[in-house]
Amino acid sequence: MRNTIVDTIIKALYFLGPLKWYLGLKNYFSPRKYILMFHRVTDGSSHGMKAISISNENFISTIETISGHGDKIVAIEEIDNFKAKRDLDFHLTFDDAYKAILDRALPYCDQREIPYSLFPVTNFLENPKPYWWDIWDTALELGEYQILNFSFFEYFPNAELTIDQNFSHLDYNTLKSLDGVTREEMSCHILDKLKKKHVGIDIDQSFGWNELEKVVGDNVHIGCHTSSHQFLPYMDHDQTLSDINQSISKLETFTGVDLKSFAFPAGLYDQASIRAVNCFDFSYKFSTECKSFTENDQNEDRLIPRFNINDEFVCDKKGRFSPAYFYWNLIRRDQHG
Ligand SMILES: [Zn+2]
């Protein structure tokens, strides 16, 4: 009897497998947009978080692959137009306005009139300095566990459960949940120590208003990414409104047009933060969910998912750029199936 039941379950799974594939493929052929999220596009001369970095060469190869494949890179205004049944439409976004993208990535897009969206953090445009995640990641990369250990335990003497003893792994969720002022203080402290020990060290950072002025062009859309890059689920309603308000007013004064888009810092949101963001009139709100954007996503909250593109996303196991891996990862990691 038991064997018969097991047998029936196995047979059911056997038939459900192809069905899942069929449904997945059906979904795959429905009109969709691929929104790619870039952060650092770099020549490797500066330090920064690897998970959000891609080399200049791999970035250019990715764009050439998309264009060579006959797919189109569209402007933000076209990402919710699902009428056109062409191959695949892409949109490029750059978060945090990293200095490194000024060297090749943005000039490359500008020369070819490739449209893209840029999400700078206004406090960092005013006072360009490295972001905390790049500072911590660099300390980890350089094996400076002592510096991290000292900084962390100085502020949180009872925090041994939040970070493992060898610092082989940083618990970013713990760091994200700290209040912004404390985290900033700790990060400045780590940065000072790193600079003393590694004289001339270059940690990538945001560019400033002057550089933004040079970047602005017909192909560039500028959106709001808050003033402080604090994570919205850890802020209260009023703090969120005031942080976003300040950023909007500075960017609108700068661009002379109404801001139409918003990107959640680190893609983090909850119902309360969505409510706060909905107080503003944004047409496009971006998350960092690893999904393509389909007509089905046009629900009430209408958050637009994005793929985080880094070197690992576009390279094969040997670390070489591979068009096949890039497309395969888009399909394989697409949570729409
Ligand atoms: Zn960001």
Structure tokens belonging to residue 122? 């206004």
Residue 337 lies in a domain: no
CA of 37 to the centre of ligand 1 (A): 10
Angle between helices 323-332 and 56-68 in degrees, nearest 10: 80
Is 62 part of any domain?
Answer: yes
Task: Count the domains in the chain.
Answer: 3
Q: How far is the CA of 288 from the centre of ligand 1 (A)?
A: 10
Q: Are residues 84 and 146 located together in one domain of the fold?
A: no
Lowest mean pLDDT among 17-26, 92-101, 142-151, 264-273: 17-26
> Do 161 and 104 share a domain, yes or no?
no
The predicted pLDDT at position 163 comes to 54
Average pLDDT, the chain: 87
Of residues 32 and 287, which shows the higher confidence score? 287
Residue 264 lies in a domain: yes
Residue of 279, 100, 111 whose CA lies nearest to 204: 100
For residue 182, the enclosing domain spans 132-197
- Any residues with CB less than 8 A from the CB of 273 and at least 6 apart, and which? 232, 233, 235, 240, 264
Q: State whether 173 and 226 are in the same domain.
A: no
What whole-number distance in Å separates Cα of residue 189 and Cα of residue 76?
39
Q: Which residue has the tokens 């810092």?
A: 265
pTM as predicted: 0.88
Do 230 and 291 reside in the same domain of the chain? yes
pLDDT at 177 over 60: yes
What's the number of CA atoms in the CB half-sphere (13 Å) around residue 117? 27
Q: Which residue has the higher pLDDT, 332 or 49?
A: 49
What's the CA-to-centroid distance between 201 and ligand 1, angstroms? Answer: 23
| Whether pLDDT at 14 is above 70 | no
CA of 161 to the centre of ligand 1 (A): 27
156: in domain: yes
Q: What separation in Å is there between the alpha carbon of 11 and the centre of ligand 1?
A: 47
pLDDT in tens, 47-56: 999 999 999 9
CA distance 89 to 36: 11
- Do residues 137 and 191 touch, judged by C-beta distance below 8 A? no
Shared domain for 311 and 229, answered yes or no, is yes
